[in-house]
Amino acid sequence: MSRKQKRGTVIGAGVALLGVAVGLVLYALSDTIVFFYTPSEVAEKEIAPGQRFRLGGLVEAGSLERLGGERVRFAVTDTDKTLTVVYSGILPDLFREGQGVVAEGALDGGVFTADTVLAKHDENYMPREVADALKEKGVWQHAGEGAQ
């Protein structure tokens, strides 16, 4: 084997090892990657039942229902589409109708079952994903201007 062939073999083996390492890292991360969607994006995409993702938007006014115990149902909207969310647990203190929210969970028969609900923490803050999605829809107004 010539010197050139040995160098090519070493480089090829290095590239193969690097490829295997990247593949293993991506495989390990595949269970922990959680995508963010708005209700309109959920309606457009085919999201498999049980696939975890984050749902963001505004809590629709008048949609909050107490189902008994710590179980609640509310609707998240991006003013175009609305998705019903069921959550068991204590809602954040700042959770209110008409405010921005991010819920993490999965679809179950057309209803989003959340295991985590995050609310904005002051009147000027909106989760970046929610603000970006609302800006994209053209319904974003800065807190000082009054949100729709």
Q: Give the residue numbers of the binding site for heme.
A: 121, 125
* Distance of alpha carbon 48 from alpha carbon 42, whole angstroms: 10
Give SS3 for 117: strand
Whether 37 and 55 have beta carbons less than 8 Å apart is answered as yes
Taken in order 44, 50, 56, 61, the sign of the CA dihedral is: positive
Place of tokens 């609707």: 75
* Distance of alpha carbon 114 from alpha carbon 22, whole angstroms: 32
Nearest to 54 by CA among 146, 140, 121, 129: 129
Whether 101 and 59 have beta carbons less than 8 Å apart is answered as yes
Annotated binding site: 121, 125
